[in-house]
Structure 1
Amino acid sequence: MKIYGLTFFSIIHDLINEPFHLHIAEGSNKLCKYWVFRDGSIELADSSGYKRTELKKIEKALKENITFVME
């Protein structure tokens, strides 16, 4: 799934050992992971290469699309 030019994806084998989460990538140098909870809240789990302002943009995209993400 792409939102704001960012690629949102999950890796099935990750979900066996970890709670539901999404990876977000922009190019090959930026990657982060957000936990997505049943109540619709999100939490940054890990980030590499993103500035805080960019993470805010990602959080906004996740919150705006949380219903779609959780389906």
Structure 2
Amino acid sequence: MTFERAEEASASAFGTRIDLVSATTDSVELRVAGIPFTVAKGETGSQEANLNITIKSITANKIVLKIGDVSGV
């Protein structure tokens, strides 16, 4: 999933809304199903709302996340 660094970036994965709140070079702050959630770069598979979230890359223009369904469905 790719977020452009915009003021109100959001997307949906596996029926769950994910909002980009902020990002640094080392972490991304998200709102996953309305719940604040921070993913650190280098973490493998942080979990929230039955989603497995990993940072693939953070650049000046975009943030790329790998999103997986924890249930395996």
TM-score (norm 1): 0.38
Greater length-normalized contact order (CA 8 Å, ≥ 6 residues apart): 2
Decide which structure has greater helix share.
Answer: 1
